[in-house]
Structure 1
Amino acid sequence: MTQDHLDTTIFGEPGAQEPRRRRRQRQSKGKGRRLLTLVLAIVLVGGAAIAAVAVLKPFVSSIAGDGGSEAEDFAGPGEGEVAVTVKQGDSGEAIATALKSAGVVKTRTAYLEASAADPEQSAKIQAGTYTLKKGMKAIDAFTLLADPANRSVPRLTLPEGLWASEIIPRLSKSTGVPVAQYQAALKNPAALGLPQAAGGRVEGYLFPSSYEFDKGTPAAAQLKQMIALTLAELEKAGVQPEDYTRILTVASIIEGEVNGDADRAKVARVIENRLDDPNGPTIGRLQMDSTVHYIEQERGRAGTSDQARNSDSPYNTYKVKGLPPGPINNPGAASIEAAANPAEGPWFYFVAVNPSTGETKFAVTAAEHDVNVQEFNKWCSENKDKC
């Protein structure tokens, strides 16, 4: 075998070896370019992702409600004063938003973390207005809110015996809710929890007490709470639902007639004795001045005039037998208890012989009562501006 043939057998045809080397070199270069392209693509994608994070971070943070993704906090202790109102039913999220909006805390997250760290105290935060500082540490703001002593809320005291026509304007003045909104709420008595036996009339069911309604608390929510307290008091006194309005009617008369708690149960007995005996001394008529005052919507004077007692109103118990159509005011707990549990006794009459002190005398017969009335008339002659 010649050398040329040997070369051909081992390396192929003469001249073929060189092109093969060039192909390998071209393939190597192609792989390198592809690798470089891949690396560049990765770099570009990574850069785009970083840029996207930088662009979207503020947007995402704004959705979360904070200026940053971390629970950034002020150094405190803060300065100035700012009022923050926590509304009834506000969640921790709502409180955090209010604090951040007022500039009290730097981020919502900082407050939420402070709140989550002490769920027991967080649950004690009550509705009301709190005075805080701008730039507080979140934990300091949380501690202040959790202390009821720092809470400020309008307090309205409604005394016993007011008419609904007097209560509504007082509520409106205290809370800033227009009278028209109370009137609108009263058109849906069932939504207020008013029992069907009330016949849609709220008189008698607005419980006299001290209330802490935030500014702007819906009229319906206020009325609903007051009615609920009245129903609770009736239940406490052992009154059955079907008797609610009757007992409140009697209680309202007691409230309108009596000053001292000691006499309430005795007045309740006088009312029941007159109702139980249509042939008795008053032939079933209650003859209560308080019901006539309700007709006239007038306060401040003892006794009634002949003209007022001649009214044809169904609330005029001097002419109409039995109870009036419903309560004549909004009675308190003592009068409700007395109406539900009258004292035992034979009395048919009573009169406040000294309306200034509330001194009241009871009688069984008309003759005994006349003597007591003379004592009342003597007081009136000495206090003409009050009779």
Structure 2
Amino acid sequence: MSNDDFFNEIVNPHGQDVKRRRRSRAERRRDQHHEEVSGRRASGRSSAPAGDRHQRRTHHTDEPSTPVGEQRPPRTPASPATPAPAPAGDRPATGRRARRLQERQEQEAATGREVAEDPASDLFASEPPPRPRTRVEGARTRRLREQRQAQERARRKKRLRRRLVSVMVLVLVLSVVSVAGYQAFNFLHDTIPQEDMSDYEGAGDSADKVVVTLPAGAGGSQIGSILKEAGVVASVGAFVKAYNANSNASGIQSGTYTLRRGMSAAYAVASLLDPASRKDHTLTVTEGATKRQVKESLMRVGGFTDAQVEEAFADTAAIGLPAVAGGNVEGWLAPSTYDVTADATATELVKSMVSTTVSRLNALHVPAESYQTVLTKASIVEREVSSSDYYSQVARVIENRLADTGGETMGKLQMDSTTLYGLGRTGGIPTKAEIEDPSNAYNTHVYAGLPPSPIGSPGEKAISAVLNPQEGPWLYFVTVDLGTGKTLFAATYDEQVANSKKLDEYCEAHKDMCGSGQGTPPPSQDPDGDG
């Protein structure tokens, strides 16, 4: 607020009257000033020379002076099409200023003389300033401001009330839900029976045994249900608790077990981890085992008859035997451990063995037409040496001999393992007569090339060695220590003879190991053999 406004509104509420009186005094001063100026002009014209008066009157123009006593002709007004530009800073002639300017122009036209402009006449000629705000208007502004403040306070109170109501509703809902949940828990706890945690004590009745079969992938709860149904444990809950408490429980394998009835849960878990509980229901085919040895295991573990096993071997369609096998399952009964369930048949077990062999060959990317050849070579490798460290070297000897059709070996393998297989034996050393016997189709001392079929079931390491034999020039090898399996390899016949003498020395010291009760001479007596 300016000083004038403050004065008009606070000191003198009748601001309009003061302003009116101020303007009246200004007008009186202006009229007085005009009279003084007119008097000076009149005295000046009478006393001053004409030239001086004309110079004072026309000092800013280029018009010629008028002689004294002559009347100056009136001015020619400027053309309206080309008005003279107004000096910069001049205010437009409006209101009272316009009236004063018109009066001056009329006076100049009547007298024929220029009338000087009175600066004081324009002191209040501009438009009046904006009317100052009155006390009434200030009060109205204050009332509006107070109204707005009151409305803002009301809105804040309303928002606060809404928030309080929302919090109260939320608390009420949570309370209702909590009470309902508590009631539901009590209802379910009273109506649903609790888990049975009863348990037996001790190792159970040794005279009361039962056979149970655990499926693949069974967990603690499923195993507990099977044992509870068979009468081995008292409750599933007790077994699950014991199962979770034993850090080795995850090692329980699927298969068939012989257990006692009435065992404690902890003892049942320990029995399932004991291999002895499975030995009567587990059939294991070792690397290098022949089909005759597998048949004996099937008869002993599964309780099958000789006829049942031979029938399973002969049913090539039922067991899925590939055509390249020529109807002979030898070499196709994969080394592994098989579970013999109470309702298992010989055909199902043999089928599982053949299927495992096919899967392994496919995993090693062996072509189907090469199945039989690879299995035959791998079975010889498996039988010739007892350590897998020599598998790849023996596989190279086989390849070199088969390729040496015009050299020292004439393409003959000359492997004792094949000759012994044809004789129905798996160990020992063949005699010189047996080595020279042509009636043995598996006698590779006589016949060149591979034998008619595999001589046993090779493992995965032997198969891999046949597929990737170690590079070398070897044509001979001999095991010089039958206890440790130490084997020496040679590229020439002379080297082989020197290595065979080491075997002779070993056999002199370990006649029980070399003779095997068969009276066979050492390989050195057969210079064409490999030992």
- Short-chain TM bin: 0.5 to 0.7
Aligned to 1:34: none
1:296 paired to 2:423:
yes
Name the SS of the counterpart of 2:472 in structure 1. coil
Name the SS of the counterpart of 1:173 in structure 2. helix
1:173 paired to 2:300:
yes
1:282 paired to 2:413:
no
Is the contact between residue 199 and residue 233 of structure 2 (CA under 8 Å) also seen in structure 1? no
Deviations 1:226-260 (A, max 9, x none): 22222232233332221111011001111111111
Deviations 1:310-367 (A, max 9, x none): 2322211111110011101112222111112111111111111222221111111112
Name the SS of the counterpart of 1:378 in structure 2. helix
Identity of aligned residues (%): 36
CA RMSD of aligned residues (A): 3.9
* Structure 1 residue 206: Cα displacement: 1.2
* Structure 1 residue 263: Cα displacement: 0.8
Aligned to 1:3: none
* Correspondence 1:20-169 to 2 at 5 A: 76-77=198-199, 81=205, 83-87=209-213, 126-129=254-257, 131=259, 133=261, 149=273, 152-154=277-279, 155-169=282-296
In structure 2, the gaps of 5 or more residues are 1-192, 241-251, 516-531
Q: 2:438 aligns with which of 311, 314, 319?
A: 311
1:235 paired to 2:362:
yes
Aligned to 1:219: 346
Deviations 1:37-68 (A, max 9, x none): xxxxxxxxxxxxxxxxxxxxxxxxxxxxxxxx
Name the SS of the counterpart of 1:186 in structure 2. helix
Letter in 2 for 1:276: A
Is the contact between residue 164 and residue 202 of structure 1 (CA under 8 Å) also seen in structure 2? yes
CA separation of 1:381/1:306 partners in 2, compared to 1, >3 Å: closer, same or farther?
farther
* Correspondence 1:193-272 to 2 at 5 A: 193-215=320-342, 217-272=344-399
Deviates more, 1:195-204 or 1:217-226: 217-226
Name the SS of the counterpart of 2:334 in structure 1. coil
Aligned to 1:185: 312
* Structure 1 residue 195: Cα displacement: 1.2
TM-score, normalization by structure 2: 0.49
In structure 1, the gaps of 5 or more residues are 1-70, 116-123
Aligned to 1:335: 462
Is the contact between residue 332 and residue 457 of structure 2 (CA under 8 Å) also seen in structure 1? yes
* Structure 1 residue 308: Cα displacement: 3.8
Aligned to 1:326: 453
Aligned to 2:150: none
Letter in 1 for 2:402: L
* Structure 1 residue 125: Cα displacement: 9.3
Greater relative contact order, per chain length (Cα 8 Å cut-off, separation 6+): 1
Name the SS of the counterpart of 1:279 in structure 2. coil
CA separation of 1:132/1:373 partners in 2, compared to 1, >3 Å: closer, same or farther?
closer
* Structure 1 residue 286: Cα displacement: 0.6
TM-score, normalization by structure 1: 0.66
Q: 1:362 aligns with which of 464, 472, 489?
A: 489
Aligned to 2:509: 382
Letter in 2 for 1:273: N
Name the SS of the counterpart of 1:200 in structure 2. coil
Is the contact between residue 251 and residue 336 of structure 1 (CA under 8 Å) also seen in structure 2? yes
In 2, the alpha carbon distance for the partners of 1:334 and 1:234 equals 12
Aligned length: 302
In 1, the alpha carbon distance for the partners of 2:439 and 2:466 equals 26
CA separation of 1:153/1:273 partners in 2, compared to 1, >3 Å: closer, same or farther?
same
* Structure 1 residue 96: Cα displacement: 7.9
Letter in 2 for 1:225: S
